[in-house]
Amino acid sequence: MSNGAGYTRLGVNVDHVATVRQARMVQVPDPVEAAVLAELAGCDGIIVHLREDRRHIQDRDLTILRRTVKTGLNLEMASTQEMVKIALEIKPDTVTLVPERRDELTTEGGLEVAMNLEYLKKAARLLQDADIRVSLFVDPDVDQVKASHRVGANAIEIHTGKYADAKTRESAESEYQRVLDAAKIGRKLKLEVVAGHGLDYRNVRRIVQIPEIVEVNIGHSIVARALMVGMEGAVREMRRAIGGVS
C-alpha cells in the first residue's frame, strides 16, 4: 500500500450481485456467497451499501455478512436515524457515510460535509462510541477533506467517478490532480485515505500510485468481470492490477 510496503488494500463491493438477484426477486445469486469467494481470492474487505429503498442489498444480507466476513465489513449508508440504528445493531467494522438520492442509478457524488458539519459530527460520534470506524465519501475537494477532519472521521474515501469517466486525456489529468491533492491534504490531516467509484482494471493503476491512498474500493467492474471468469478469478485479476499477486 502506500505504506511503503508496495501494497494497496482491495475492498470488494458486492452490491451488484444483489442487483442481479433482485431483478428476479429470487435467492440467487447470493452476495454472501460472492463475499466468501472474494475473500478466498485475496481481497482485504467486503463492502455493501444498504440503501433506504433496499434496491439491492437487503437487511438479511447484512446480518449474515456480519457473521461470515473474515476480513473487514464496510457498510455504506446514508446518515439517517434509521441507518445509524441499524449500524449500531450490526456493528460493521467501518461505516462509510454517503449521500443518497432515490432516483440515482448509483452514488453520484460526495457528501456535502462542510454544510452539514454538526449533523455529521453527531452521527460519527454515535458510531465511534460503538467502536465503529467512520469514513466519509467525499469529492476530491480540499474544503470537503478539511471538513471531514473537523467532523472527526477516521478516514475519507475520495470519489474517483469524474476521473474514471473522463473522456479526454486533459480532463483525466485534471481530475487525477484533484484526487492527488485531496489525498495529500487528507494524509496531512492524519485521515486514512481510500479511493473508489468507477475504478476498473485499467484506470485503477494510476490511483494506486498515489502514495497516500492505502485502499481502493471496487464493485461494478469486478462483478462484471466475474460474469466471465467467476468471482475468484475477477478478484485475483484486480489484485494483480493494483499490485500484490493473489
Pairing of strands 9-13, 213-218: parallel
- Listed range (40-44, 170-174, 240-244) with the worst mean pLDDT: 240-244
Model pLDDT, residue 101: 67
With H, G, I as helix, E, B as strand and everything else as coil, classify residue 164. helix
At 49-99, the pLDDT tens digits run 999 999 999 999 999 999 999 999 999 999 999 999 999 999 999 999 999
Q: Which contacts of 75-80 are long-range, i.e. CB under 8 A and separated by 24 or more positions?
A: 75/47, 75/48, 75/49, 75/50, 76/13, 76/47, 76/48, 76/49, 76/50, 76/107, 76/137, 77/49, 77/50, 78/51, 78/52, 79/119, 79/120, 79/123, 80/52
Is the pLDDT at 178 greater than 80? The verdict is yes
Grid coordinates of 203: 484506470
Model pLDDT, residue 1: 37
Residue matched to cell numbers 442489498: 57
**pTM above threshold 0.85:** yes
Determine the Cα–Cα distance for residues 107 and 185; give it in Å rounded to an integer: 23
Catalytic residues: 49, 76, 197
Residue matched to cell numbers 502514495: 211
Grid coordinates of 8: 494497496
Query: What's the pLDDT band for 215 if we cut at 50, 70, 90?
Result: very high
Question: In the CATH scheme, what is the code of domain 9-242?
Answer: 3.20.20.70
Q: What share of the chain has pLDDT > 70, as a percent?
A: 93
Pairing of strands 9-13, 45-49: parallel
Give the start-to-end residue ranges of the domains of the chain.
9-242
